[in-house]
Chain A
Amino acid sequence: MTALPPIALPVVVEPRTRRGRGRRPAWRRGPALVGLVVLALWVLVALTLPLWTPFGPLDPVDKRLLSPNAHHWLGTDALGRDVFTRVLWGARTSLPVAAIVILAAVIIGTIIGAVSGFFGGWIDAVLMRFVDITMAFPPILLAMAITASLGPSIRNAVIAMILVWWPIYARLLRAQVIAVRQRDFVDSAVAIGASRWLILRRYVLPMSYTPVLVNATMDFGQVVLLVASLSFIGLGARPPSPEWGAMITEGATNFYQWWIAAGPGLAILLVVLAFNFVGDGLRDTFDVRDDS
């Protein structure tokens, strides 16, 4: 929460055991379970698209601007394309994009956070000042600047979001590594002559990455939102590609044909809500306090 503590507070995350013993953890019941099911359905639909719609996402298939009817459940857009088909296709952009961003940010953040926390010294100082600067401004402003500069496209939006996102995990992992480094088993590993890399890989990292994974899962929804937002302001996916944010932009220009924007908006809402349900359950399970 604190903007820039010179050294982030160590956060040690332990599963809560006191409450709910003998029950399934919170992220596998209730709303979180609903979220998981919804996400699984989206993935399934994205993988088996042709089963769900007879149309292509880019082909004009009927008259323009038809309101929702039996053939076109969400109507047609300004070019006569089937909105429902395009909404389903949107999952093929948003879900992989979010996964790539989170995965890359976690990998980069883990490497840099681990090196920074484990070796300390000037490497740590340099890396953390860089992290401080990146985290000192709201993510969307930096993402906008980077995407604009590289040229608006979904690929560049992905690059921008990775660059904006990894410092969060680097800082989180670094704090964890510093906390774990001081435990006795690390000292004993040093005593028996294990090399530093071995200690880092075998002893420190496995004890440190849980909060990063938990936070990464909780961030998924935010990344989906940010992709859509960048596309909405014209800096991400470009028309005619069936991306939810870009489709909402098209809906905004056809303001009175509400169905063009309604579908993609609902799709974003469903996916992000599902991720947030799961994240909320994870929060209850792991009691993650630090989400700087």
Chain B
Amino acid sequence: MKRYLVRRIAVIPFLMLGIITMVFIVSRLTPADPLVSIVGARNLNNPTIVAAAKARWGLDQSIPIQYLKYMKNVFQGDLGTSFTTRKPVLHDLWDRLPATLELTSFALVIGVVGGVGLGVLAARHRNTIIDHVARFFALLGSSLPAFWAGLLGLYVLYSRLEWLPGPGRLDPRADPPARITGFFTVDALLHGDMSTFWSALRHLILPACVLGWGVIGIVSRLVRASLLDEFSMEYVRVARAMGLRERTVVNNHALRNALLPTITIVGFSFAYLITGAVLTEIVFSWPGLGSYAVEASRKLDFPAVIGVSALGGLAFLLTNLITDIAYAIADPRIRLS
């Protein structure tokens, strides 16, 4: 286990280098010109401005030199400066990380709680109408384009019924709470500011549900399948033969074992969550990493694109590592090797 962990962790820096190199190469293959977003289309014909901008952003050197310089900075903890925000990329990422984390963690909680509940319901009523409805609901969640679901939700619940607030993390006039964790809900609570807390929470409901629905789809199918596997085990039959109530059999016996494989799905859901977050953030004007990535891609802001890809990759690798470890701890029969 120890050796396995060391090996897994040791690979991560190399993979990160690989990711950064790959995105760097991709970004320099471009026929499109990032200078448009730096100096604006109007100044492109002005050779002085173009030359100055190229020198300023190091674009006048050959690509291998640019790469070496970039990597040297990366090793010193500098991911470069964004073409568009003109701030260090690391600063931008740090600024926007909490918004995405808050959204995805709420979505993950909704997805796991809802998914386990729905999965149990489906398994207990296997092959009945309840099971079929649950399957439909789950597949609907994984088939729904998140951006469209968000738009639809906004149209119905915000613009028509006015039950929920519009896009953004807070009402337009409200000031965000001073940053402690960066989670508006948590920070507002820590400051004892209940009105901001409610506002932040209400703004979270719709995007988190849109994002969480997909997770419900993934989790509920897995819980159902693994619960059905447990139902065919002898210990469940014994528990039933002993006359235990079905609820006790499921909740206290079968479900505990069935939930183990669900741990791994959390790592898998993460890739889904990132994809979903990119799209959901666009629709809800959510100032997180997803909308940052989209703006950066649209404007060919390569330092930002590389930075956000590296962070996404790192998060992905760490999540997978953590879920593997959690799985091994929860089920001692698993031997990591």
Contact = CB atoms under 8 A, between A and B. Distances in A.
Given A141-B312, A147-B297, A133 B305 contact: no
B278 A140 contact: yes
B152 A262 contact: yes
Contacts of B154: 255
A228 interface: yes
Interface stretch (A113-121, A190-198, A199-207, A271-279): A271-279
Most buried by A among B26, B317, B323: B26
Most buried by A among B15, B274, B323: B15
Contact of A280 (B139, B297, B323): B139
A232 B298 contact: no
A272 B148 CA distance: 13
B298 A136 contact: no
Interface stretch (A63-71, A82-90, A148-156): A148-156
Contacts of A146: 26
B268 A248 contact: no
Nearest to B272: A138
A137 B147 contact: no
A265 B279 CA distance: 14
A272 B143 contact: yes
Contact of B298 (A132, A235, A245, A248): A235
B316 A225 contact: no
A235 B282 CA distance: 13
Interface stretch (B29-37, B68-76, B175-183): B29-37
B22 interface: yes
A4 B155 CA distance: 42
Interface string B147-161: 110011011000100
Most buried by A among B139, B143, B152, B159: B143
**B-side binding surface: helix, strand, loop or mixed?**
helix
A51 interface: no
A148 B145 contact: no
Interface residues of A, number: 54
Contacts of B271: 138-139
Contacts of B148: 248, 261, 264-265, 268-269
B63 to A, nearest CB: 13
A242 interface: no
B135 A145 contact: no
Given A233-B278, A234-B298, A258-B155, A150 B30 contact: yes
**A-side binding surface: helix, strand, loop or mixed?**
helix
Nearest to A140: B275
Contacts of A229: 145, 147, 275, 278-279
Contacts of A145: 23, 26-27, 297, 305, 309
B283 to A, nearest CB: 7
Contact of A144 (B7, B283, B297): B297
A273 B148 CA distance: 14
A252 interface: yes
A134 interface: yes
Nearest to B264: A1
A234 B30 CA distance: 17
B155 A138 contact: no
- Which of the four size classes fits the interface of chain B? 35 or more
A171 B159 CA distance: 47
A269 B148 CA distance: 9
Nearest to B320: A3
Given A141-B308, A145-B297, A136 B159 contact: no
A137 B283 CA distance: 23
A281 to B, nearest CB: 11
A92 B23 CA distance: 32
A3 B321 contact: yes
Given A1-B264, A138-B275, A229-B275, A276 B139 contact: yes
Contact of B268 (A1, A255, A258, A264): A1
Contacts of A273: 139-140, 143
Interface string B316-337: 1100110110000000000000
A31 interface: yes
Contacts of A1: 264-265, 267-268, 320, 323
Given A133-B15, A248-B148, A268-B145, A149 B26 contact: yes
A144 B49 CA distance: 29
A268 to B, nearest CB: 5
25 contacts: A1-B323, A2-B320, A132-B15, A133-B15, A136-B15, A136-B313, A136-B316, A138-B275, A138-B316, A141-B293, A141-B309, A141-B313, A145-B309, A148-B298, A148-B305, A151-B31, A232-B282, A233-B294, A233-B298, A234-B298, A252-B283, A256-B159, A261-B148, A262-B152, A280-B221
Given A132-B15, A152-B298, 15 more contacts: A6-B7, A31-B135, A129-B18, A136-B15, A138-B313, A141-B293, A144-B293, A144-B305, A145-B26, A151-B30, A232-B145, A261-B148, A273-B139, A276-B142, A280-B221
